Amino acid sequence: MLKGIPQILSPELLKVLCEMGHSDRLVISDGNFPAESMGKDAVVIRCDGHGVPEILDAILKVFPLDTYVDKPMNLMEVMPGDDVETPIWDTYKEIVSKYDKRGAGAVGNIERFKFYDESKTAYAIIATSEKALYANVMLQKGVVTE
């Protein structure tokens, strides 16, 4: 156990977050995301039993977002024709606002298949049990300045 580190961040996940450098990307995926097939060239970490919001909040406590890009946090866009509500996105924007002065302005959207393509180049993918649809998040790491 460590002081000041959220308990939900496992030793394996902390190691990966520390290994990541500036501009490396991390995907926090919902339960329907094909984490293993997208993450063939990435580290895939299972966080079964947890949802994306609690993992996102814990990670952003220790993980700076990239200040050199406009949207260091991206969500998977809803496919045209899908009648899906995404209230979880509001939760994500509240969470990022606690850790990044840009708040919701740091959050962008990526078309579904482009999100998949970009996920294949991520350093790591965290697979959660999140049941909300279109709940995937991609973070781009910034520089630690403190």
The 3-state secondary structure of 6-44 reads CCCCCHHHHHHHHHCCCCCEEEEECCCCCHHHHCCCCEE
**Which of 22, 68, 90, 117 is an active site residue?**
22
**Which of 66, 92, 123, 134 is an active site residue?**
66
Give residue 146's pLDDT: 74
Residue extents of the structural domains in the chain:
23-140
Fold for domain 23-140?
RbsD-like fold (3.40.1650)
Q: Look up 50 and say whether it is catalytic.
A: no
Distance separating alpha carbons of residues 3 and 84, to the nearest angstrom: 40
Give residue 2's pLDDT: 83
CB 102 within 8 A of CB 68: no
Q: Look up 116 and say whether it is catalytic.
A: yes
Give residue 70's pLDDT: 96
Other CB atoms within a 10 A radius of the CB of residue 49 amount to 7
Residue 128 CA, distance from chain mean position: 11
Distance separating alpha carbons of residues 63 and 17, to the nearest angstrom: 7
Give residue 86's pLDDT: 97
Give residue 69's pLDDT: 97
| Per-block mean pLDDT, blocks of 10 residues, the chain (146 long) | 91 96 98 95 96 98 97 97 96 98 97 97 98 98 90
Distance separating alpha carbons of residues 72 and 79, to the nearest angstrom: 21
Q: Look up 100 and say whether it is catalytic.
A: no
